[in-house]
Structure 1
């Protein structure tokens, strides 16, 4: 075994622990960084994820899947390999996966965000020997404004549309981006309507204690 974690045709594999991280083909043991569909697939025998990811995983993959939950900073050992989850800041429940074996530590980031969005548990760097990083927007060309400046602009646009009698429509992912927007907008400006796909995820998160505002479900 040359590397603690290695890329295979099924996903990132830990041979010493005999488990995969975010595998895209069916495996026996899968550690899931978060519930987005490009990281969480059907068909695994056992899933391991953060507790806040579990309701969405069961909603999307089926209520009969076998899921073990583990909170941030907790640790479990499998075949002598220590596994722990650490905040990734991407969406609610998103996790980096820390793997330790015989004194060597590797971390697989999954999707992560270093800016605190006020809803997800903020990203925390994890000391390690090797870091496998997702890097969707890693090129220097991508420079992000502060979240507050985006919301200020959104509120200005929303109020302008109201004055002109125009509906304001925002398109976003049903899981993650929708909740980030809802947690930051000023709902005193007006009522908020949501597609059923978003409302369903909201209901799961609100039931789990996430502070999301009330929305009106679009039914037609």
Structure 2
């Protein structure tokens, strides 16, 4: 019964939303505009300027957007910051606030920081189901981007509320290092993608099918089986 309800909710999200891995400068501008709305106007976290929230890491990032099919409005965005991309190695944003040892074990070339996770409070025009699943849609976008980039790990500094929400969908980030103060308490954390997806497949196969496009976005040979989300994945793609 629970899985059936989740399937219905994912169907609503697929009908109403599209997930985009940005390929154009205009999409990157739309991401920065949505970030301004969330981080500058709604949360008052960042100053922003000229209606955009942006920083020096954006040129070394892969941006993801979630957009309304009906209106074209962008409701959510997230980016993967890639160390050494864009011609200048700026490292990761979290390295400015975390202890040096936190990311030392990771191979930088195959690690990305999940950053600027932003969903607007203004979700007019969306059904409750689609609005509630925006978080999973954004994650689906960075799963697709990570597969294309050959990543092995994600790192992030996250609110503990977001970590709990992710655990409810079998995404268990590993805490590394102490809590830090950055617009409130944040937990530095790491997620190893292969083992993480294997765990999702074991615990919530319908979520695994949705996030990985039935394995097409993450073709790990150790994970077998097919889900029932081909149509949903095609719509959201």
TM-score normalised by length of structure 2 = 0.28
Indicate the structure (1 or 2) with the bigger Cα radius of gyration: 1
The structure richer in helix per residue is: 2
